[in-house]
Amino acid sequence: MTIKHKILLGYIKDLSVETPDPESLIAARENISKYSLNLDLNSKILKNKMIEVYTKLTYEDKTNKKKIYLEMNYATVVRIERKKKGEVKKSREERGRKSRRKGKDFWKNTNQEFIRSLL
């Protein structure tokens, strides 16, 4: 299912760089292949058919004592577009249970479908 949407804005919500000492930076540079990049997606429902999507990137080495830590939380505000007049409506069979959803359950499921469409 394709959900029509418009990205309103994106911004860095949080940025964290931890370098305890110069030795840690040198060790990180020498052992960069041991670092792993983790990706975490979350979202929050806002008013006026908007969703805030959080993309958290974490770059760290869990094996060495001398290490650096990098983390960025990027937020994107998205508006779910309404169907335009003249678009073909789906039959009840095509809509299935989705036509019966109301309120927060509808937006929660729409939010989850939107996140899945990004992946």
Q: Is 61 left (phi over 0), alpha (psi -120 to 50) or beta?
A: beta
Collect all residues with Cβ–Cβ distance below 8 Å to 20 and sequence separation of at least 6.
66, 68
pLDDT in tens, 22-56: 988 888 888 888 888 899 999 999 998 899 999 99
How many domains, in total, are found in the chain?
1
104 sits in which H/E element = helix 103-118
CA 107 to each of CA 44, 90, 110: distance values in angstroms, whole numbers, following the listed order: 10, 19, 5
Q: Sheet of 5-18: strands edge to edge?
A: 5-18, 69-80, 50-60, 36-45
Q: Cα 112 vs. chain centroid, distance in angstroms?
A: 11
Q: Which domain holds residue 56?
A: 5-86+94-118
pTM more than 0.75: no
Q: What does the pLDDT profile of the chain (119 residues) look like in tens digits?
A: 677 889 999 999 999 999 889 988 888 888 888 888 899 999 999 998 899 999 999 988 878 777 888 999 999 999 988 766 555 555 455 555 554 444 556 555 666 666 666 65
The CATH number assigned to the domain holding 68 equals 3.10.420
